Structure 1
Amino acid sequence: MTAAPGRRSSTFTRLLRHGFTDASAAERLLDSPELAPLRDDPVLLEALGGTADPDLALLGLVRLLEAQQSPGARRELLDTLIAAKPLRDRLLGVLGASTALADHLARHPDDWQALVMYEAYDLHPGVEEFEAGLAEATDPVSLRVAYRRCLLSIAARDVCGTTGLAESAAELADLATATLRAALKIAEAAAPEDAALCRLAVIAMGKCGGHELNYVSDVDVIFVGEAAEGTDETLAVRAATRLASHMMRICSETTVEGSIWPVDANLRPEGRNGPLVRTLSSHLAYYQRWAKTWEFQALLKARPVAGDLDLGAEYVAAVQPLVWKAAERENFVPDVQKMRRRVVENIPVAEVDRQLKLGPGGLRDVEFAVQLLQLVHGRADTSLRSGTTLDALKALAAGGYVGRADAAQLDEAYRFLRSMEHRIQLFRLRRTHLVPEDEAELRRIGRSLGLRADPVADLHREWRRHAGVVRRLHEKLFYRPLLDAVAQLATGEARLSTEAARERMVALGYADPASALRHLEALASGVTRKAAIQRTLLPVLLGWFADSADPDAGLLNFRKVSDALGKTPWYLRLLRDEGAAAQNLARVLSAGRLAPDLLMRAPEAVALLGDGDGGGLEPRPRAHLEQEIHAAVKRADDAAQAVTAARGVRRRELFRTAAADIVGSYGTEEQPAEADQGALVDRVGGAVSDLTAATLAGTLRAVVRDGWGDELPTRFAVIGMGRFGGHELGYGSDADVLFVHEPRDGVDEREASQAANKVVSEMRRLLQIPSADPPLLIDADLRPEGKSGPMVRTLTSYAAYYRRWALTWESHALLRAEPVAGDEDLGRRFIELIDPLRYPADGLADEAVREIRRLKARMESERLPRGADPKLHAKLGPGGLSDVEWTVQLMQLRHGASEPGLRTTRTREALAAARAAGLITAEDAATLDEAWVLATRVRNAVMLVRGRAGDTFPTEPRELAAVGRYLGYGPGHAGDMLDAYRRTARRARGVVEELFYGIAER
C-alpha cells in the first residue's frame, strides 16, 4: 500500500521534525503492513522521535513485528504498544540505541515481554533476581539467550532514564555475578566428580568487583581453590582448575547466539604464566613475597561472587591488610605512576584523542587518582575502602581528602564519560572505549544523552569539557590544604598530614613530591611578611605550574628566584599587585629550560614581567641595544671583559624575548594567547637577529680597541647570511656571516689582511669562551670556496671571485646577505656588488633552475638525520622550512630584477611580494606562509623547552607536552598537534612540488 502524495509530503515533513534522517525510507517502513494499526497513531512518531536513533528504532520495530510467530502474537504486541506508553518507550528506546539487542529480539521475538512491566521490587534488580532469570539455562547457548533477555531490561531502564549510571553499572555487575554462578553450575553439572573434590571460589576484580561494570567488558576474576574434606590438595587443585577453565569457556566462547563476555584471569599471581587456581595459602605467600604494587591496587576491588562464598570471604579478609599496607612499600608512588604512564604509552597515536577510558582526561585518570588517594589515606580511614569509584570519591570528599567542589565536578565528569562509554558499547554490544568518528553514530550517542539541539557539536563540546575537568584533576587537588600541611596553619578546615600532603603532591603531577613540599615549606612557613605574601600567592601559582608540562621545574624555579630576590622590596610587591606579573612568571618558569636558565643568571630580570602596559616585554630596538653594549665596552678594561658585558646584555634581552614569546603563546587570564602566530615568529626572529647584530658590533669594537686603538688599518664589515641576514634567527640559531675588508688609504694590503684575519680570529675566540651564557656561534661556511677559502676577503677579491667563479648555490645564498656590523659604507658597497648576482637581469637559465632543484633534492637526502621521521622534521622535511624558503628564493632569483618587492632578505616579505606580483596565488601563498610560521615555531618551541636546538618534535612525553602547550594544545592533545603539523606540511609540500619542482609549471 502506497501513501497518497499529499499525505507522503506531510508525513515526510513530520518525520524530519521528529529527528529522522532518512525520511523516505521511514515513510516506506510506516507504510508496511505490519505497522498498519499504528500508522495513524499520533503518539508513535512522538515516541520514535524520543529515541536515540528514530530510523534505527523504526526499522527494529518492523523487524520485531515481522518476527512474531503468529497474527495473534503480532496483535498482542501491537495492542500493548498502543495501550502502554511505558512499554512503548522502553522497547523503542532499546531498538533506537542497540542494533545488537534489536537482532536478539528478531531472533527471540517473545523476549519483548520482559519489558512489559516494572514492579517496585524489580526497578533495581539484584543478583537474586538475575539468578532467577538465568535459572532455566542449562548449556552455553541457553545461558546466552537468558543473559541477553536480562540485559534487555537493564538497557531499557538505562536508556529511558529509570536508572542512573551508577545503578545501571551495578546491575550489570550483578548480572555478571549471576552469570558466573550459572556458568559454574553448568560446569559442575558436567563434571560432578570434580565438584566433589574441591571448594572453588570465584573472586571478581576490576569493574565487576567494584560494582561498576560496562555493557561489554572483560570480567576479571581470580580463582581460589581448597581441597574438600578428605581430599588430596593436589588432586583438588587440578579439579578446581578444570572447573574454572570450563566456566571461563562457557562465558567466553562464541556460539550461534554470540558470546557473553571474556572471563579474564590475568590479574592472578604471575599473570598468565601462573597457575589458574591456587590455594589461599599459596596466594598469600605470593602476595607477601613477590607481588608488585599494581597487584595490590587491583585487589582494592576484590569481591567474592561465585562458588564457595565462605572461601571467597576468607580470601578477601586475608588480602585486605596487605592492600592497605601497599602505600608503605618502597617506590609505591613511582610504581603507580609508571603503570599509568605505561597504559598511556601503549595507546596507538591515532587513538589517543578518541580514547574515553585510557587517554589523558579519560576514565582511567579518575580511577587511578581515586585509587591512589584511597591507598594512601585508607590505611587509617576505613570509610575510604570502597571498590566503587563514585562511592570512594564521595567518601574522600566527606573525609576532607578531596575538596567538595572538586569531587562534585569529577563525579559529574565521570558519570558523563561512563554514560558515553555505555552508549557506544550498547550499540553493537562490542568492547570498545573509542569515540566513533562517523557522524551518524555521534548523533545517536548525543541524542541518547539528551543532547537534541545539535547532537554532534553538543556531544563534542560536553565531552571535551568533562575531559578537561578530569585533566585538571591534578591541578585542583586542594592547594590550600597542602600549604596548611607544610606551613602548619590553622584554617578551621580539615588539614592534611605532612605525609598525606606528600602523596597529594604526587596526584598534582609532581615527580618529586618530597622536594616539592620542602619548597612549599621554605616558601610559606613562618610569620614574616614574605611568608604571608607567599602563602597568598602559592595556591594560585601551584595551579599555573600544574597547567604546565613540568610542575616540579616551575616550583623549584620559583623558589630559586624567591630565594634570590625575596628580600628585595619590589619583588613580592610586583607579584602581588601588578596583575599578570605572577602568572607571567609562573608561565616562564614552567615552560621549559631556556627561559628559567636565563633568569637564574640574572634574577632581577623578573622585573621585566611586571610592566603594567606590557612594555617590559617589548623587544628593544637595535640602536638602543648597540648603544648599551658600546657603553659597556667602553667601560670594560679589556676585550674579554667587554665581551662578558655584551653577553650579559644579550642574556637579559634573550630572556625578555623568550618571556614575551611564552606569555604571548600561553596567554594569561587577563590576556589570551596571541592569535597572530606570524607576528610572534617575526617578533622573535627580529629581536634575536637585532640582538646578535648588536653583540657582534660590540665584540668588533672591543677587539679593535684592544688591538689597534681607535682605528683598524682596514675598513671591516660583517655581512649577515641565512636566517641572520633574513632577520629570522631562532633561539638556537648559529650566526651565518661573511667578513669583508678594504685597506685604508696608504695601508699595505698584506698588513690590512693580517689585521682583518686577526679581528675575525679574536672575535670568534672571545665569543666561544666557555660561559654559562647561551653560546653565539659564528659560521662563515657560506664564504667563497666554503671551508677551503680564506675567512675574510677584500671587496676587490670578492668581486673577482664572483665575476669568474661564482656557482649557482652562491647566488642563491647571497639572496639573504645583509650588513649587520662594522663599516656601513663598505657593507653598502658589498650589497651593490652582489645585487646583479642574486637578482640577475635575465632571470635564471633552465640549467641553473635544474641545478638548484638538484641541490635541494641532494640536501634532503643527505642531511636528514638517520632515523628521523621526515614528515615531522621542521627544517628538511616535506613542507618544512627548506621547502618554503627554496621555493620563495627561486622566485626571487627568477624575478627579482623586474620585481622590486622581491629584493628582500626576509622570507615572509618576499612571499607577500610574490603574491602581489601575481607569481603565486593568494591561496598557495597563505599555505606556504602558514607552514613556514608553524615550522619556525616548532624549532623555537624545542629550544625553549629543551634548552638546546632541534628540528624535530621531542619524544620524551613531558617535553612533547610542553611543546604542545607552547603551540596552543592543551594536556592530552599532543596527537592533535602532530596531526595538524603533518596536514599543514603536506599542503605546503603540494604547493612546493608545483612551484619549485615544476610538476605543474606556472
Structure 2
Amino acid sequence: MEGHRAPQGRRSSPHSRLLRYGFTDPQAAARLLDTPELGPVHSDPVLLAALSATADPDLALTGLVRLVEALAPADRQPLLDTLVTAKPLRDRLLGVLGASAALGDHLARHPEDWRTLLTYEVADIHPGETEFERMLRDRVWHRALTLAERPGALRVAYRGCLLAIAARDVCGTSTVTQTAAELADLATATLRVALDIAAETEPHDAHACALAVIGMGKCGGRELNYVSDVDVVFVAEPRQGVSEAAAMQAATRMASAMMRICSDTTPEGTIWPVDANLRPEGRNGPLVRTLSSYLAYYRRWAKTWEFQALLKARPVAGDEALGQSFMAAVAPLVWKASERENFVPDVRQMRRRVVQNIPPGQVERELKLGPGGLRDVEFAVQMLQLVHGRGDASLRSPTTLTALRELSDGGYVGRADAAALDSAYRFLRRMEHRIQLHRLRRTHLVPEDEADLRRLGRSLGLRTEPVQELRREWRRYAVEVRRLHEKLFYRPLLDAVARLAPGETGLSPRAALTRLEALGYQDPAAALRHLQALASGVSRSAAIQRTLLPVLLGWFADSADPDAGLLNFRRVSEALGRTPWYLRLLRDEGAAAENLARVLSSGRLAPDLLLRAPEAVALLGAPDGLRPQSRETLEQELGAVAGRTQDPERLVAFARGVRRRELFRTAAADVTGRFEDDPGTVGRALTDINAATLATALVAAGNAVRQEFGGTLPTRLAVIAMGRFGGRELSYGSDADVLFVHEPVDGADPDAATRAALRQANEMRRLLQVPSADPPLLIDADLRPEGRQGALVRTLASYAAYYRRWSKTWERQALLRAAPVAGDPELGARFVALVDPLRYPAEGLSDDEVREIRRLKARMENERLPRGADPTTHTKLGRGGLSDVEWTVQLTQLQHAREHPSLRTTGTRQALAAARDAGLVDERDAAVLDEAWLLATRVRNAVMLVRGRPGDTFPADARELAGVARYLDYEPGHLGELLDEYRRTTRRARAVVDRLFYDWAPDGAGP
C-alpha cells in the first residue's frame, strides 16, 4: 500500500523510513542521499517530502544527484539553498526529475538550465509563440555562434523550453490542453527559427521565393504531444523576376534544410521529425507546390482524408501573407468535403483501417489508435465538424476539445455526452503525455512493466494503489469513449433525415425509409439522402431521375450491396450532371440503365474504374460497347497517338488511360454476364489490354533513350510474356511476368547495345509506374535467368548459353508459357525457337527430373501457403486449386509434347484439352481438372471485382462474400452452398492430381 506508516511505538530503520517516502530501492536511495555533494540537505525532511510527492522518488533522487554533481562547486550551493527554501522550484525541479529520465539526462548535460525553472510569474505560466521564439533566438543568435553551431544550439534551447513546459505540467499549473498548446507553440517557434537558419544558410534561395509553412495535425490544431512528428505542408510562390521552376527549387532546398535541422539526430538528440507526407500525393508528390497547384489537386484529385487533414491546417512559419492566402483558398473546399460522394463511409473506413493495421499483440495497449482511444474521439468530432460545419461556421475550430464544446453548444452533441468525452479525452491525453515524457520517445503504448505503470499512475495522482487504479481508470474511460464514438460516429447523418422536406422523393421520409428497408438497404437513411440529392428540385434532370430511380432501386436491390450501388449511381450522376446525353441514355436505352445498375453494385473495381472516367458510361449503351477490343485494334489506336507525339510520358499516360477504359469495358461485360458462355474471354481480354499497353510503353521508352545513342538505337528489343501473361490467362489483379531479350544491330558496339537495351527496359518500367489516377501495370521480370540477381536484359546468345549450361528443370517448366508480346517480332520468334527444345524436350523427362518437379511442388505446398490460410479454399496454392491443375498439365507437356504437337501451347485449358484428346488424360479427369481451374479463376476474379484488390481467398466480410457469390450466380442466403461446392470441386481435382501428378510418389515426394 502506498504511503503506509510504521506501527506506532516502534523505531523504524532508515530503510523502512525511505520506503514510507515512496522509494522502492531504499538501499540505493540511502547511498545517494549520503552523496557529499548534497551536503546538509541530504536528510532535510522538506526535501524528502518533496521527493516522495514525485511520480518516481528513486528516479527523482538519481536525477538530482546527477544535476548537483554536474554543477561546478561554486554553483551547487545556490541550487541547494533554493531547493530547500523555494517551494515552486522544488516542486518543479523534482517533479520533472521524477517523471522524465530524458529531461534528467538533459539537466546532467546542461546543469545551468535548472535556472529556467526559477521564474514563477504570470507571464511565465503560459508563454505563447512569441515568448518561445524570443527564448530560442536568445540562445541561437545572441551568442558568438557560427552558422554551423546554430542547429545544435537550437536543440539545446528547445529542450530548455521543454523543461519548463514539463515542469508546469507535472506540477499541475497547466492543464492538459494548455500543455498541448504550449508544445504546439514551442514547435511553431522552433520551425520559425529553423527556417531562419535555413534561409541564412542559403540567402539566394530565401530571396528567390516566398515560402510558407502550414502546420497540420496536432501542431496545426495546437494540441501537440511531447514527442510527435510535426506535420507540415509547404506552399511557395516566386519572387518578382524569378521563374516558377527556379523558385520551387529554391523553396524545396529551404524546406528540406529546415526539416533536417529539426529532424537530424546529433549528440544532443533530435528535436522531432518534420513530416510532410500529408502533402498532395504523399511521398511521391513534390515537397513544395504553388498555391494554384494545391488548389488544382484538391479540386480534382484529393481524397476525403485529405480534406479531413486540412481541417487542422494553419500557417506556422515563413511568409505570413502567403500562408493566409493558402488558408483562405482551401477553407471552402474543406467545408464542402461532406458533400463528396461516399464521404461518411470513407471516414468510417479510414477509422476501421487504422484499427485493423494495429499489430494484434498491441491492440489492448494502444492508447491512441486502438478502440476506445484518442483517435475515436478525434474522428467522431472531425466528422461532426465536417458534416455540420458546412452551414455552421461556429464549428470550425482545429482543436479537438474546443470543437467538441462548440458542437455541444450548438446542440449537435448532447451536453452529457460532450462532458463525458471531454473528461475521457483529457485523461487519455494526460496518460499519453506522461508515457512520452519519461524517455521523450514517440509511443502510444501503455507500458507492461509494473515499475513503469507505478510511475505512470503516480504521475496522474493515483497514489493508493497506482497500478490497479491506473488500469481501472484507463479501462473505464476507454469503454466510455468507445460507446460514445459508436453513438456519434455512426449516427450524425442519420439524424439529418428528420429535417428533410416531405414529398421530395415522392414519399415522406418515414415511408421512404420503410420502403428502402424492405428492399434490403442496410442504411436506408443514407439511401434516402442520396435519393433526395438526386431527385429534388424542378429541373429536367431531376424529373428524369424521378422516373429512373424506382427502377434503379429495384436493380440495386437485386445485388449483394444495394447501398453501394445507389451511392455509386449518385457519384456518377453528379460527375456527369451537366452532360446532356447521360440521363437521356439511361432513360431511352433500357439496357444501359440496367447495365449501369449492375456495374455500380458489383463491388469496388468496376465502379472505381468508371468514376475515374465517368464518360465511359457511354459504353454501356452502345451496341458493341461491352465487346472487348482486340489487341490489334488497341495497338492501332495507340499507334495513331504515337505517330502524333514523341513525348514519352504523354504517350504512356494516354496508353494508361486507354487501359483504364478497356479494364472497365472488360469488368462491366464480366459482371453483366457477357462472358458466361466463354469464361476464358476475361483472361484473353486482359492479356490483350496489357500487351498493347506494354508495347506502347516500349515505343515510348525507345523515344526517351534514342537521343542518348545518336538518334538510333543500337539494338533490337523483344519482350517475352511469361506465366499467366504468356498463357493469356491473366486475372484482374495479375502482374505482367516478362523476360527481356535483345540483339545488337549490325555493326553496333555490343556494350552500347546492352546499355541501350537496359535503359529502354528500365525506362519502360518507369513510365508505367509514373504516379497517376490510372491503375498501375506492374512488370515482374523475376523469372529471368538467376532471378532478381541476374541481368534484366540479355542477348539471345546469352540466353542460349545460360540455358545450355545452367538451366534447371523449373526454368524449363516456366518456359512452357513463354510467348512474344512486344518489341521486335522476328527476335521474339527466334527466342521461341531457342526455347522450344527446352520446354518440349525430345527425350521427355528423366525419372530424376520428374521427382524434382514433384519435390518442388510439394515444397511449395508446404512453405508458400500463407500462415492461417485454409488450404481447402485458397484458390492458388490450396487443394485442387490453380497450382495443382497447372503443374499437372505442365508435367504432362514436358513429358509428352515431343510426340504430341498439340500440347505445344501456352494455355492451361488448351493443353489440358490436347492431353485429353491425345489419350494422356482420361476424359473424366480432364473435365474435373478443367472445372476446378475455371472455378478457382472465377473466384479470384470475383474477389478482385468485389474488393478492388487481388486476393486468393474468399473474403471474410459477409457483404463482400455475398458479392462474390452473386458474381458466381448464387442466390442470397446460399453462401454455404458456394463454399461447399468449391470444396467439393477442388477435392475431386486434388484426387486427380494425386494420381496424375504425384503417382502416389513412392519416393515420398508427394503429400
Q: Calculate the TM-score normalised by the size of structure 1.
A: 0.49
Larger Rg: 1
